[in-house]
Amino acid sequence: MKIRYRAMAVSAAAIATIGTLGAVSVVGADYVDESTTVTEITQSVDYKTSDADTLRLYRAFLAREPDIDGSKYWIAQTRAGATLDDLAYGFAQSDEFKAEYGTLTNDEFLTLIYDNMLGRVADQDGFDYWLGEMDKGLAQFGVVRWVVANDEFVANYPYAPTAPDSPGDTKNCSDFTTQAAAQAWFDHYFDLFGDIAKLDQDNNQVACESLS
Ligand SMILES: [Ca+2]
Ligand SMILES: [Ca+2]
């Protein structure tokens, strides 16, 4: 496996902020940015596979479940164009990461990474591989960034989409700015709850034609 890591510029806000997003007014939890729990995030209309990568990266760097404000903040950063490398760099600058790993030798770091990320003792082949990469210059946080993509870690922390609760008839077509947004909402809930908000009066599976 070839390891590539490119240090990239990260906004000052991304570096400084872990979980300090201000209060957000909540009008239900259809969307990631309205969610009040990480579970609600995974139930959201706009939750994507790449968001699971973001949550896994957060889980890996802080060795704990992501908190809601930090999760929303970092997902928003990726939607604004930040890459996983940017996020990894940002997490590595956090006081929380530095407190956990900041003073360790590479040997100690790898031992703790295996315990924190994979919940087990390192296998010798894996340990030697990563130590070799670090000897060649891979930064400690670069190891974390790549272990996140490892099948074992993904299986442990899938952050898969979860079935949403019924939203009830809480939406009208006038609540959406585009037909695509209405359709995404409609499709998200349809299999479980049918046309719960009555967005498809003519029953042709196309929501809110009036917006097109
Ligand atoms: Ca309605
Ligand atoms: Ca229709």
Averaged over 76-99, what is the pLDDT? 92
* Ligand nearest the Cα atom of residue 172: 1
What is the structure's pLDDT at 147?
87
Closest residue by Cα to residue 52 from 137, 144, 118, 44: 44
pLDDT-derived band at 102, boundaries 50, 70, 90: confident
What is the structure's pLDDT at 28?
53
Q: Are 134 and 104 in contact (CB under 8 A)?
A: no
pTM over 0.75: yes
| Ligand 1 centroid, distance to 198 Cα (angstroms) | 5
Averaged over 75-89, what is the pLDDT? 94
Give the Å distances, CA to CA, from 171 to 178, 187, 189, 208.
13, 13, 12, 11
Averaged over 141-147, what is the pLDDT? 90
Give the model confidence (pLDDT) of 108-124 as tens digits: 999 999 998 899 999 99
| Ligand 2 centroid, distance to 117 Cα (angstroms) | 47
Q: Is 90 exceeded by the pLDDT of residue 161?
A: yes
Cα 183 to chain center, whole Å? Answer: 24
Please calculate the CA angle 109-115-120 and round it to the nearest 5 degrees: 135
| Ligand 1 centroid, distance to 155 Cα (angstroms) | 39
How many C-beta atoms lie closer than 10 Å to residue 120's C-beta? 9
Dihedral class, residue 208 (left if φ above 0, else alpha if ψ from -120 to 50, else beta): left
Give the model confidence (pLDDT) of 7-49 as tens digits: 333 333 443 343 333 333 334 589 999 999 999 999 999 999 9
* Ligand nearest the Cα atom of residue 173: 1
Averaged over 60-67, what is the pLDDT? 91
In angstroms, what is the C-alpha Rg of the chain? 20
